[in-house]
Amino acid sequence: MRALKIAGIVVGSIVALIVVALLAVLLFVDPNDYRDDIERIVESKTGRQLTLSGELNLSIFPWLALEAGPASLGEAPGFGDEPFVAIQEARVGVRLLPLIRGKVEVGNVRLAGARIRLVTDETGRNNWADLGEQQEQAQPAPTEETTMEVPTIAGLEIEDAAVTIENRQEKTRQVVRDFNLKTGRLASGEPFELSTDFVLDQEPSLSAKVRLSATVTADLEANAHRLAQPEIDVTLTGQGYPQEGIPVQIRADALTADVGKELYRLEALNVTTSWKGEGFPAAGVPIALQAKDLNANLAAQTMELSGLTMDVAGARLTGALTGKEILDAPALTGPLKLEQVSLREWAPKLGVELPATADPKVFEKLNFSGRVAMTKSSAEVGDIVLQLDDTTAKGMLGIADFDAMALRFDLNVDRIDADRYLPPPSEEPAGKPAEQPAADQPPTPIPVETLRNLNARGQLQVGEAIFAGIKFTKLRLGVNARDGKVRFNPSEASMYGGNYSGDIGIDATGSVARVTLDEHVSGIDFAPLFKDFFETDRVSGKGSANIKLAGSGKDTDEIVKTLTGNIDFKVADGAIEGTDLWWEIRRARALLKQQPAPERSVPVRTPFTALTGSGVMKNGVLSNNDLNVAMQYLKITGQGTVDVPASALDYRLVATVMKIPREGADTEQVQDLVDAQIPVKITGALSDPKVRPDLEGYLKNEVKQRVDQEKEKLEEKVKEKLGDKLKDLFNR
């Protein structure tokens, strides 16, 4: 008992001595007396000037605590006069009695009004690298491993802090301001509540106000951490955003990180927002993103994202991703699917009004599936199956290089009627003559700037297609665009019983676009072609044509008006419907003979066995000087022009009557037409040409022939009379 008593006295004496010593420190030691020493030690260790402009306060029981007023740490040379770090208030304390027993229990740690500047200058040098060098030099040599109990902290509070991150080399500036953080008791392996809020400014275009709360468990011994039920609320404001901002909510079940094993997992992610801004509906566009699980193994550099769902105003996109080499050379792959949606109903929810179309039933059905493959520099969607209305496209589409924005594609379309998506035909005003054409559609501008930046290569194949009324089958179109030069080659298709091949080029390197055409058609049935393209059934026949033209301009009208080049064509076994040239010739003759007009045969048409010609086009007007038309009873030659911008014909032909057909009631009466040369005019629109004999020219020709005949008769009579006179003279 005596020993215990002595021990108790000794311990009590030691405790009393410690208490007396601490009271002595508190009563007789003023930490402000050591202000200069502290500033000198910090400067020697960091190379920076420490300024303690506020009071230093020391308390002992029950906490050994130090409080500091305003203080700052100087900036590195060359980065300005503002301090690197500045604070308004700081407090840290350690519970005294546990400390005496060798256990560290830190009280509430408070930091208020902190300001930190992280600057990278124009040369790439930053203002914190020298501090790291100082710490490395001061780091003691490693000793034998010792275990130390991780201290607990009663709580951490940061109020009104700010961090400025400025990169003068890249001319960027980010500021984290109004930063506040508060936690519960911090102990390794025990959960604590955490809440924080701050504003992130991406000057000058974006500002994000952030609030975060979660239950955090940090196991420092195992180096494994968990955020349970994290809730993040973000409000985005800035240029292009509405004044009230765009709210974003982020929720999850948990985020776990096993840092030692480099394993990370995000469970049940849910992100929702209502996107607003110019061009969007006033109520905004609701967007929801969900992911069931995201697992990342940084040691193996793999990741898996499952149960991915994105809903944009009712359009639902689902998928999943698997990644490998995610740190060194990330490669992500996975399926992607857009469930069927009606564009007519969905587009207005995005603030987009679809244009009126010739077929009001288009844009009713859209769905998509494919497989995504992404790397750091590229993205591709393969195994595409896209359905728009009754059109199905399969193949791949991607960007081979993000920096160059190199678009690559290989698509196979079963069928498409592009004309269904064109604007509906204009309605004729009341009282407007039927033959008066509707107002011209405005010309289509050539997007020169877009073409200059376009980098694309690929091919499009279409089983059946209708463009501008023209029907194609087995269409194949190759595209190669780079550095402002676009080439559509090969360009091939079967059409109207024949074949088409072409080479189309667009040069956008100049102030206006220059378009070149090298087009060829062979074996084409012109009757359905003219009916589909010109909406006329006035022309029939089968033939070929070669077109080599070039034009330039800011829009399609200017290009058509500047087209220059050469054209040739051949058409066999055709007809001009609605005009009977032989009947018109007979009618003109009857008019001159003052005879009744002949009866018109049915059907009304002018058949021909061959039509050939070639010409030179200049500024959109084709001049043709060698037109030849071979018919059963006529041979036609002539010349004329085709004004493409005005869609007008102006031809002067000469029809030579080869023989008189046997059929017809007036066959015997018109035998005088054999070998007659009759002028013919063809004028009017390409879609509805007017073919008629030139009565004035024919009459002049007839008069001239009669004058010539009378002249010959007169000359004969004069010769006869002159011969008689001469005979009488010589007989004398």
pLDDT of residue 708: 56
Query: Are 653 and 627 spatial neighbours (Cβ–Cβ below 8 Å)?
Result: yes
pLDDT of residue 103: 66
- CB-based burial label for 239 (10 Å; 0-12, 13-18, 19+): exposed
pLDDT of residue 209: 95
Looking at residue 124, what DSSP letter applies? S
Residue 710 has pLDDT above 60, yes or no: no
Residue 594 has pLDDT above 60, yes or no: yes
pLDDT of residue 27: 44
- pLDDT tens figures, 622-657: 999 999 989 888 888 999 999 988 889 999 988 888
- Structure tokens that stand for 692 in this block: 């008629």
pLDDT of residue 9: 43
- Structure tokens that stand for 587 in this block: 């009618």
Distance of CA 469 to the CA centre of its chain: 27
Strands (E), 356-497: 366-375, 379-388, 391-401, 406-417, 455-467, 470-482, 485-495
Residue 7 has pLDDT above 90, yes or no: no
pLDDT band at residue 149, thresholds of 50, 70 and 90?
Answer: low
Place of tokens 């809020």: 197
Ranked by mean pLDDT, which of 123-132, 494-503, 692-701 comes out on top?
494-503
Q: What are phi and psi of 204, to 5 degrees?
A: -105, 10
Long-range contacts, stretch 290-297, CB < 8 angstroms, 24+ apart: 291/266, 292/267, 292/268, 293/265, 293/266, 293/267, 293/268, 294/265, 294/266, 294/269, 295/263, 295/264, 295/265, 296/263, 296/264, 296/265, 296/326, 297/262, 297/263, 297/264
Q: Could you tell me how many helices (H) and strands (E) the chain has, helices first?
A: 10, 37
- The half-sphere exposure of 652 on its side-chain side, counting CA atoms within 13 A, is 6
Lowest mean pLDDT across 91-100, 499-508, 579-588: 91-100
pLDDT of residue 729: 45
DSSP-derived 3-state class of residue 113: coil
pLDDT band at residue 20, thresholds of 50, 70 and 90?
Answer: very low
Q: Which helix (H) or strand (E) holds 717?
A: helix 695-731
pLDDT of residue 715: 55
What integer best gives the mean pLDDT of the chain?
A: 83
pLDDT of residue 43: 82
Task: State mean pLDDT over 494-504.
Answer: 92
Query: Are 207 and 175 spatial neighbours (Cβ–Cβ below 8 Å)?
Result: no
Looking at residue 76, what DSSP letter applies? P
Ranked by mean pLDDT, which of 98-102, 151-155, 490-494, 722-726 comes out on top?
490-494
Q: What are phi and psi of 453, to 5 degrees?
A: -95, -5
pLDDT band at residue 667, thresholds of 50, 70 and 90?
Answer: low
Question: Per residue in 241-277, is it b (16+ CB within 10 Å) or e — as a string?
Answer: beeebbbbebebebbbbbeeeebbbbeebebebbbbe
pLDDT of residue 709: 57
Task: State mean pLDDT over 563-591.
Answer: 84
pLDDT of residue 369: 97
Q: What are phi and psi of 719, to 5 degrees?
A: -65, -40
Ranked by mean pLDDT, which of 105-109, 300-304, 537-541 comes out on top?
300-304
- pLDDT tens figures, 115-142: 999 999 988 899 888 875 555 555 555 5
Long-range contacts, stretch 369-372, CB < 8 angstroms, 24+ apart: 369/335, 369/336, 369/337, 369/338, 370/335, 370/336, 370/337, 371/333, 371/334, 371/335, 371/336, 372/319, 372/321, 372/332, 372/333, 372/334, 372/335, 372/336
Place of tokens 């084409």: 524
Task: State mean pLDDT over 349-357.
Answer: 90
Task: State mean pLDDT over 365-387.
Answer: 96
What is the C-alpha separation between 600 and 583, in angstroms, rounded?
7
Query: Are 118 and 128 spatial neighbours (Cβ–Cβ below 8 Å)?
Result: yes
Q: What are phi and psi of 69, to 5 degrees?
A: -85, -155
pLDDT of residue 689: 79
pLDDT of residue 563: 94
Residue 256 has pLDDT above 90, yes or no: yes
pLDDT of residue 668: 65
Beta bridge partners of 227: 216, 255
Query: Would residue 233 be called left, alpha or beta, if left means φ above 0 and alpha means ψ between -120 and 50 degrees?
Result: beta
Query: Are 79 and 99 spatial neighbours (Cβ–Cβ below 8 Å)?
Result: no
pLDDT band at residue 8, thresholds of 50, 70 and 90?
Answer: very low
Residue 703 has pLDDT above 90, yes or no: no
Beta bridge partners of 374: 332, 379
pLDDT of residue 144: 52
CA gyration radius, the chain: 46
pLDDT of residue 368: 96
pLDDT of residue 505: 95
DSSP-derived 3-state class of residue 496: coil
Total Cβ atoms within 10 A of residue 11: 10
Residue 455 has pLDDT above 90, yes or no: yes
pLDDT of residue 297: 96
What is the C-alpha separation between 520 and 548, in angstroms, rounded?
9
Task: State mean pLDDT over 527-554.
Answer: 85
pLDDT band at residue 271, thresholds of 50, 70 and 90?
Answer: very high
- pLDDT tens figures, 22-64: 444 444 456 777 778 788 888 888 888 888 888 888 776 666 7
pLDDT of residue 565: 95
Question: Whole-angstrom distance between the N-terminal and C-terminal Cα of the chain?
Answer: 202
What is the C-alpha separation between 556 and 77, in angstroms, rounded?
62
Task: State mean pLDDT over 548-561.
Answer: 93
Q: Residue type for 163, please?
A: V
- pLDDT tens figures, 399-447: 999 999 999 999 999 999 998 998 887 655 444 443 434 445 678 888 8
Looking at residue 343, what DSSP letter applies? H
- pLDDT tens figures, 457-497: 999 999 999 988 888 999 999 999 999 999 999 899 998 89
Task: State mean pLDDT over 147-166.
Answer: 83
Taking the whole predicted model, whether its pTM rises above 0.85 is answered as no
By percentage, how much of the chain surpasses pLDDT 70? Answer: 82
